[in-house]
Amino acid sequence: MANVRAPQIQVYDSVTEVVCEPEFSIKVRIYYEDTDFGGVVFYANYLKYMERARTEFLRCKGVNQSELFAQERRLFVVKSAQLDYLSAARFDDLLSVTAEVATVRRASMQFVQHCTQAQPADGAQIGKPVVSARVTIACLDADSFKPCAIPGALKMSLSH
């Protein structure tokens, strides 16, 4: 850190990584911001992690949501969510968050998503289920907020 700074850049640890096969997942580290005074992750925050996983899943499928919004004026919004909280995650835990498409319709699709312990801070079991969810997404016109068809190329890539 001082005047002898080594010039090389070393990747020390990959905190969040995206895994595409055999099942799509990202890793999410739990920070101060995620917890509440009960000592565990605040329940709304899991919806953030699931959104991050869906965004990375769509990126894997070639969907750039910022271009889709800016250029094609299309937006994905959540229509419904069913969440089951199975165990608590805590500060410093590393979670695995999956995103799998269960069904695709003309203007909506349903994801099944699981948060599990990937590297618990306190020695809990790896793979322990934390939250499971079923999330339905609609494709909307960004100006009218009316439903519109999922872009054809995405729909095709989802069926493979």
Which residues does the annotation mark as catalytic? 36
End-to-end CA distance of the chain: 48
Cβ proximity to a second copy, 12 vs 152, nearer residue: 12
Q: What are phi and psi of 30, to 5 degrees?
A: -90, 120
User: Interface residues for a second copy in 59-118 (CB under 8 A)?
Assistant: 59-60, 64-66, 69, 75, 77-85, 88, 90-92, 100-101
* CA 36/CA 23 separation, integer angstroms: 30
- For residues 9 and 123, what is the distance between their CA atoms, to the nearest angstrom? 31
State how far the Cα of 13 lies from the Cα of 107, in Å rounded to an integer. 39
Q: Which of residues 6-45 bind a second copy (CB under 8 A)?
A: 6-23, 26, 29, 31-33, 35-40, 42-45
**Site of interaction with a second copy (CB under 8 A):** 1, 5-23, 26, 29, 31-33, 35-40, 42-45, 47-48, 51-52, 55-56, 59-60, 64-66, 69, 75, 77-85, 88, 90-92, 100-101, 121-122, 142, 145, 160
